[in-house]
Each structure stands twice: as C-alpha cells, then as structure tokens.
Amino acid sequence: MRILIYGFGRMGLTHFTILNSINENLKFTIIEPNRFLLSILNKNFPNVNFLKDDSSLKEPYDISLITAPPFAHLKLLKKCLKRGDKKVFIEKPFGGYTNIYDDYLNQTKNLYVGYVLRFNPCIQWIKNKISKKNIFSVKGQFLSSTLNKRPVGWRNGPFSGVLNEVGSHVIDLIQYITECKSMEVNHCKIQSVISDVDDILDAELISNDGVNISLHFNWVKKNIRKPVFKLEIVMKDGLKYLIDQQEIVIRNNKEEKSDKISVTDIAETVPFYLRGIDFSKQMEDLLNDCSTIASVEDGLQVNKVINKIMLHEGNFRR
C-alpha cells in the first residue's frame, strides 16, 4: 500500500510513526519543503522517499494525508483528486472555517477529516450507550494555557484561533454524539486577549433537533496545567453525563453521584501507542473501513457552525 504525506511537522510525524508501526508493508512518500529538514530526514529514514515537492508524482496513492497548515488544504486536495488518490485524510479544520461549500462531495466519497477525539474510549462509550433522541442539552468546553505570547505567522490569522484549532474538536464531538444536521447561534461572545484572533469564546446554540448547546473555549487560562476537553450531557429524564478524556461520571437528576467509569476500564488495546489510544485508533480506521473517522460531510458541517459563530451579529477577527 502506497502512502503519501504532505508535511512532516508534529502531525505528519505522528501519523507516519503510527502507520509505520502498525503495518510494516506500507511504502511512504513524504513531501517536506524545508530543505534543511529534508537532508536530515533522508539520512535518518533511508527507506522513505522524501521529496521537496510533488511535481514528479503522477500515479495515484492508496492514501494521502494532508497535514500542512489549513491555508494549504484546498490546493493540496485538488492535486490528490486530480491524481486519483483512493483515500484522502486532511487534518482539521478542513480548509479553515470559511470553507463551507459542498463541491467536494461530488468528487470523492473517500475524503476524511482528522477529528481524533471521537476515538477517545469515553466518547465511544457515550456514543454507544445513550440515545440521541433523549438528549436535552450539551455543554462543551476546552481549557488550556496554550498561548502565553502573541503568535506569529498563520497562527495569528483567520486560519487559527481557539475556535478553529481546538473548539472545532468539541463541535465535532457534539455533532457526532447528537447526530444533529445543523446548529443555529442564539448568542456568542468572542475575546482576543493575547492573539489578534479569538482566544476566549462563549456561545449558545440550538440544533435542528432542538438540543440546547453551550460552548466555552479558552486557551489563555493560566492556571490550567494541560489541555482538557469536557462535555456535559443532560438527558430529558434529568440523568447527567460528565465526560472528559479520562472518565465518565453519571449523576441522577438530584445531582447525586451515581456512577463513575474510568477510561482504563473501557479502553481497548492498540498495536502501537503514541499520544494516547485515540491517534492509533484513527489511523487503524483509516487503513480499514473508515467506520468512525470523520467524513468530509462532518468536516464541512463543523466549518459551517464555526462560520455562523464568527459572523453572528458583527463578530469579526480583528
């Protein structure tokens, strides 16, 4: 199986390492424009075909992974489609929040987006155990101290911000669990604290199924030691599920703690472990039947929600 990876930064290296470890028969071609890095990679990975650009690539690949920054996604995707690559995986958010058009749906059904948190064992437990029809409300949260100084380059522009880079993960989780088809914004507030884009966001939305949705994202919270996402799902009978990466707490309608499920109780084994089970599960799914991985429809739906938030009642990125 022939694999092409665009970009060998943190995500490109992560996916390469996992794929190379779970299937030794894969043949890799990696595009990395940084000449200095390219010379080092060629010396350390003699069995991998490293190239500075894709101008010589004509034959289709079994899987292409686009791990370049979001502003390059659409340009690289067009090359993959023209070449006839069988599967294309793009890191989130797919082309940035202004990419909301469905043109790609008619060109390929084998296009996937890297919303890795849906592979978390706690999320999978919730997905399989609760009924979407009985969900009354969902609160989604992401907290971190990611920014402590003003970012530079594209990370301080319209392709970045807390909503694009990390909030998009939480929005995908809510869509994945509730299976809603759209969300409308009732209220939102965006704050720029360190960067020139959104650092803190609070929003109230409602889904097409009538589920009340609250979002709170903050990546400049100084007292947070490591990034954490949280979901609070309230059912119509009052039962409440509190979910993060490590556990699920279930409470009855009197707010009494009734049960607790740890990720170690429900996690499956993976052939190679790197940065958590989630990334390995995602790559396994990509190699196989793609039953859980986010589709292009899922990715565009997340973008549409972000776009509505950014355009709501005069919100703008300064």
Residues 126, 87: one domain?
no
Residue 86 in any domain: the answer is yes
Cα three-residue angle 92-94-100, rounded to 5 degrees: 140
Would you state the pLDDT for residue 68? 93
> Same domain, yes or no, for 175 and 68?
no
Quick check: is 79 in a domain? yes
| CATH at 18 | 3.40.50.720
Residue 272 has pLDDT above 90, yes or no: no
Regarding whether 175 and 77 lie in a shared domain, the answer is no
- Span 247-267, pLDDT tens digits: 999 998 776 668 999 998 998
- Domain of residue 168 covers 121-274+295-314
| pLDDT tens digits for range 46-87 | 899 999 999 999 999 999 999 999 999 999 999 999 999 999
Answer whether residue 289 is part of any domain: no
Cβ atoms within 10 Å, residue 161: 28
Considering the domain architecture, whether residues 52 and 162 belong to the same structural domain is answered as: no
Tens of pLDDT, residue by residue over 19-39, are 999 998 999 999 999 888 888
Indicate whether 106 pLDDT > 80.
Answer: no
Q: Provide the pLDDT for residue 318.
A: 46
**172 and 211 share a domain?**
yes
Answer for the pair 231, 138: CB distance below 8 angstroms, yes or no: yes
Does some domain include residue 61? yes
CATH number of the domain residue 157 falls in: 3.30.360.10
- Minimal CA–CA distance to 122: which of 177, 165, 175? 177
Amino acid code (one letter) for 177: I
In the prediction, which pLDDT does 94 show? Answer: 86
Residue 96 lies in a domain: no
The rounded distance, in Å, linking the Cα atoms of 212 and 205 is 6
Q: Is residue 280 part of a domain?
A: no
pLDDT > 90 fraction of the chain, expressed in percent and rounded: 79
Same domain, 161 and 86: no
| Domain assignment present for 181 | yes
Mean pLDDT of 236-246: 95
CA 67 from centre of chain: 12
Do 60 and 11 sit in the same domain of this protein? yes
What is the tens place of the pLDDT at every residue in 116-153?
A: 999 999 999 999 999 999 999 999 999 999 999 999 99
pLDDT band at 104 (very low <50, low <70, confident <90, very high): low
Which among 91, 113, 142 is the end of a domain? 91
For the chain, the average pLDDT equals: 92
What is the pLDDT, as a whole number, of residue 316?
53
User: What's the average model confidence in pLDDT over 230-235?
Assistant: 98
Angle at 113 between CA 108 and CA 119, to 5 degrees: 130
Check whether residue 216 and residue 159 sit in a common domain: yes
Residues 171, 79 share a domain: no
Residue 125 and residue 223 in one domain: yes
Report the domain count for the chain: 2
Q: Are 5 and 31 in contact, with CB atoms under 8 Å apart?
A: yes
Q: What is the pLDDT of residue 278?
A: 94
Confidence of residue 313 (pLDDT cuts 50, 70, 90): low
Residue 99: pLDDT over 90: no
187 part of a folded domain: yes
Q: What is the CA radius of gyration of the chain?
A: 20
Tens of pLDDT along 161-178?
A: 999 999 999 999 999 999
φ, ψ (nearest 5 deg) of residue 246:
-105, -25
